[in-house]
Structure 1
Amino acid sequence: MISLFRKIRQKLLAQNRVTRYLVYALGEILLVVIGILIALQVNNWNEENKTQQKEKLYLSRLKEDAKWNIDVLDSQIKFYQRNTMNLDSIGSFLSSGAPKNDNLKIPANPSFISAWKLKNSTYTELVSSGTLGTLSDVKLREMLDEIASFETITIRTLNYWRDLSVADADLFRPYRIQETSIVNGDTVKTVSLNYEQMLGKREVIAGIQFWSFANQKFAAGIEEYKAYYIRLLERIECLENNACSN
């Protein structure tokens, strides 16, 4: 093709057709420019397509993380709600001497499950690699940042309540009962509490009431944490379906 263009130019010059040569040269330049623009457009389209595919992959991973975290947080909310009901029932028994349900027990020490052991690897990867901007939706990026900030606050708050609760653990030391049993040929040691000796003990009852209050705080904080992930999941799903209103 280049050889053909060269021959045409040489023929026009030999025939002293300068005007036609200039017109032809301009046409050739125009064709080259158009070719470059098309190549750039194709390259831009390819890059845009790659970016869109990468974004879809990240959305899918963020969605799976959100679903996992919602399930984990939901189970922990139920755990702390059960703890609260259990502790309230025992506190009532110790205060009034009402019949105790043998199924109601509290541990010899306060035990709390960490609410922040969640899946955040996708968001961490986006931030550490500097590719958070791969997500074109500004609101989604803002929501991810909000969750990360709220997580920090949640950790600080839950640790505060846990530390306060653990500080009261010694109240129950005089009432601990260590039992030894044989399970499948193995010796198993367990620690329980003597509720009868704890009857009417004001400091102990106050400690149990505080444990109950701490569990309520845990449940409420995790409920709010879960709500963030529910909103995040809804945003991702509306983006996947191109149904986001704003």
Structure 2
Amino acid sequence: MLKFFRNLRKKLIEQNKVRKYLAYAIGEIILVVIGILIALQVNNENDQRKANKLEIKILKEIQINLQNDILEIRSDIELMEDLTKGVTNIKDFIKLNDKPTDSFNRNCALLRLTPHFNPITSGFKLLQSQGIGLVSNDSLRNAISFQYDMLYPYYKTYEEERSRFHSMHSEPILLNYFSMYFNEQNSMYQHGLFFETNTEDYLKLKEDKSFLKIITAISFENEIIKSRAKKVENSIIELIENISIELKNN
């Protein structure tokens, strides 16, 4: 084909047919431009297909991460619900009993619980490395950014505040009255934890108003964080559903 055009161009020049040569030259330029545009279009379509495949891959990984996150946040919520019940049981027990029991000790062990939520962020980090704009759906992209850049860090600040409160206020009082043990294999232990106090220390605890204040404060902190945890749970559920919808549309 190229040889044909070269021969044609040479023939027109030799025959001094300027007008025909110019028309030919313009036509040749137009053909070249059309060829370039077609090549660019094909290349753009290939790039778009690659971007779409990468977007789907990353969205699937984020979805798997979120499915693991929902299991962990629900486990944390269950622990916090156990703690709330434990505080109620402790208060009721102190009113009615003059000696500690294993049941009382197990409930007191719950006071040591400070669950930590550790979301899996591998999918989001991969998205960040490729550019958040890879997610073509604006509302989904904003929801993912909010989940990882705002909601998770915001929830973490509450957990950190609880940990500080525990180390500064709860732990010192608990250590005054209990010996602490940990054994995940012992069915008598609460989540692997067991507290133990003797009758003498128990009677002191019973009269110590600061103990009742601290366990009330523990319950208060716990309820605040539990309410935030449920918001995180709902947000995860919604984001998983939105990603599922997006994947079905691709």
- Greater relative contact order (Cα < 8 A, sep 6+): 1
* Match among 219, 222, 225 for residue 229 of structure 2: 222
Q: How big is the shift at 1:154?
A: 1.7
The 10-residue stretch of structure 1 (56-65 or 192-201) with the greater mean CA deviation from structure 2: 192-201
Instruction: Name the counterpart of 2:189.
Output: none
Please state which structure has a larger fraction of its residues in helix. 2
Do the aligned residues in 2 keep the contact of 1:59 with 1:236 (CA within 8 Å)?
yes
| Structure 1 residue 34, shift from structure 2 partner | 1.3
Q: Measure the CA separation in 2 of the matches of 1:191 and 1:96.
A: 20
- What is the 5 A alignment of 1:132-143? 132-143=132-143
Cα deviation per residue 1:189-213 (whole Å; 9 max; x = unaligned)? 9642347523354322222222222
Q: How does 1:91-240 map to 2 (within 5 A)?
A: 91-97=91-97, 102=103, 104-107=106-109, 110-115=112-117, 117-127=118-128, 129=129, 131-147=131-147, 148-166=149-167, 167-177=169-179, 191-194=195-198, 196-197=202-203, 198-240=205-247
The answer on whether the counterparts of 1:69 and 1:119 sit within 8 Å (CA) in structure 2 is yes
Q: Is contact 2:87–2:111 with CA below 8 Å preserved after alignment?
A: no
Whole-angstrom CA distance in 2 between matches of 1:108 and 1:73: 18
**Contact 1:177/1:194 (8 A) holds in 2:** no
Any idea what SS the aligned residue of 1:105 has? helix
1:63 and 2:63 equivalent? yes
Query: What code does the residue aligned with 1:218 have?
Result: I
Give 1:151 shift.
Answer: 2.2
**Percent same amino acid among aligned pairs?**
25
Which sections of structure 1, spanning at least 5 residues, go unmatched?
A: 184-188
| TM-score normalised by the chain length of structure 1 | 0.82
**Counterpart amino acid of residue 235 in structure 1:** N
Deviations 1:34-77 (A, max 9, x none): 11111111111111111111111111111111111111101111
**TM-score, L = length of structure 2:** 0.81
Q: Which one-letter code corresponds to 1:113 in the other structure? A: P
Shift of 1:121: 2.0
Matched residue, 2:80: 80
Runs of 4+ in 1 over 6 A off after TM superposition: 98-101
How many residues end up aligned between the 2 structures? 234
Does the alignment pair 1:3 with 2:3? yes
Q: CA deviation at 1:87?
A: 1.5
What residue number does 2:18 align with? 18
- Partner SS, residue 112 of structure 1: coil
Indicate the SS of the match to 1:37. helix
Please give the alpha-carbon distance, in whole angstroms, between the structure 2 residues aligned to 1:215 and 1:31.
Answer: 73
Alignment root-mean-square deviation, CA: 3.0
Give the deviation of 1:27 after TM superposition.
2.1
Distance in 1, Cα, partners of 2:214 & 2:220 = 10
